[in-house]
Amino acid sequence: MNVLNSGKVFYLQQSIQRTIVLLLLLWISIANAFAVEKLPLVQLNYQNKELKLLRAEITENIKQAGYLNAGKIQWRRYIVKKEDNFFMIMAKVMLDHDTLSSVNSLASLWDLEPGDEWLLPNTRGIAVRMQTERAAEKYKIPAYAIVNVPGKAGYVFLPGISLHPDERTYFNLATFLRPVAGRLSSGFGKRKDPFEKKERFHKGIDIACPIGSQVVASAAGKVEFAGRKGGYGVTVIINHGNGYRSLYGHLSKVKIKKGATVKRGETIALSGNTGASTGPHLHFEIHREGKPRRPDFKGHYSTGK
């Protein structure tokens, strides 16, 4: 069996029949579903043996009443390819978006990069950061059906459970907006550090803008930090719930206080050049469950270009 613990990584074949996929996505859009469980289990004729096996297992597990015995839940890994998008992967593997997004801690529909490794269980459900006993009580599910998520300490998988509507809204509606008008001067990911001249991982993006530009909350939430924070200079951190936080660095002036509740698009600060900064700009980060995610404003309302 190609379970995760065996260390085998398989690559699902990418020869998609585009017409079928487009019709499938159109059906999903019209139904406003985003939920594969409402679709027939369409045979898309993918030839990869592992994909066939995974789809067969998921089909059988969906038919079963009640909860799977934990011993029947198996895991595989999928390597995201350049031509992939969220819906293409969802259609191929027959897992709904609740399963894919929660198991892989995705921040949005666009939170995928070529080379990313996604975990695939052989049944639908959600992953939560919670102890087994607490999860069983909260979600009204037998403890024997709950399993640990491989490689994700503290996370358990709950077969047959769906995301809360609020969590699904966060994922579907691309709720984070551009926090300041300006030019993207440095992207997310590996880059040469402007001070040390060595390759470092840039945990956010930099938006060049004049000192004093209005900085708005990228999403509604509660101000968790407002003040100086090392190399970030004057900084604001907002907790948006559902594991999301946003950080705004190198500010010149903060216009809200710690503990304040802010609305999406509300002015929270003025941009600046404080801390370890090479010039006037806003440093912006989005974190999910403590891990930096690529800020992407596709489909978002934007305050600037």
Same domain as 289, residue 157 = no
Residue 178 falls inside a structural domain: no
Strands (E), the chain: 75-79, 117-121, 125-129, 147-148, 155-159, 183-186, 189-192, 199-202, 205-208, 214-216, 221-228, 234-241, 244-254, 261-262, 267-271, 281-288, 291-293
Q: Which domain holds residue 231?
A: 183-293
Choosing from 172, 204, 222, the residue where a domain stops is 172
Total number of domains in the chain: 2
Same domain as 199, residue 136 = no
Same domain as 107, residue 11 = yes
pLDDT for position 258: 97
Q: Look at 19-28, 76-85, 176-185, 203-212 and tell me which has the smallest mean pLDDT.
A: 19-28
Residue 302 falls inside a structural domain: no
**Could you tell me if residue 203 is left (phi over 0), alpha (psi between -120 and 50 degrees) or otherwise beta?**
alpha
pLDDT for position 71: 64
Same domain as 214, residue 157 = no
Q: Concatenated DSSP letters for 129-164?
A: ES-HHHHHHHHT--GGG-EEPTT-TTEEEEET----
Q: Look at 38-42, 242-246, 268-272 and tell me which has the smallest mean pLDDT.
A: 38-42
- Show the 3-state SS of 177-210: CECCCCEEEECCEEEECCCCCCEEEECCEEEECC
Three-state DSSP at 4 gives helix
For residues 105-115, average pLDDT: 79
pLDDT at 122 over 80: yes
Same domain as 273, residue 206 = yes
Q: What is the pTM of this model?
A: 0.55
CA 80 to CA 55: how far, in whole Å?
18
Token pair recorded at residue 282: 């806003």
Q: Look at 52-56, 101-105, 117-121 and tell me which has the smallest mean pLDDT.
A: 52-56
CA-nearest of 111, 229, 243 to 166 is 243
| Mean pLDDT of all residues belonging to the chain | 79
Residue 300 falls inside a structural domain: no
Alpha-carbon torsion angle 148, 154, 157, 158, nearest 10: 120
| Residue range 23-34, pLDDT digits in tens | 554 444 444 333
Strand partners, 147: 157
CB contact at 8 A, 226 and 236: yes
Same domain as 138, residue 36 = yes
Token pair recorded at residue 207: 């938006």
Same domain as 246, residue 103 = no
CB contact at 8 A, 3 and 74: yes
The confidence band for 164, taking pLDDT boundaries of 50, 70 and 90, is confident
Same domain as 75, residue 117 = yes
pLDDT for position 161: 92
Angle at CA of residue 29, ends 171 and 52, nearest 5°: 80
- 158-185 burial code (b ≥16 CB/10 A, e <16): bbbbbbeeebbebbbebbbbbbbbbeee
CA-nearest of 258, 252, 254, 255 to 239 is 258
Same domain as 94, residue 190 = no
Same domain as 187, residue 153 = no
User: For residue 118, which amino acid is it?
Assistant: W
Residue 42 falls inside a structural domain: yes
CATH number of the structural domain spanning residue 241: 2.70.70.10
CA 203 to CA 238: how far, in whole Å?
16
The confidence band for 175, taking pLDDT boundaries of 50, 70 and 90, is low
The confidence band for 125, taking pLDDT boundaries of 50, 70 and 90, is very high
CA 215 to CA 201: how far, in whole Å?
24
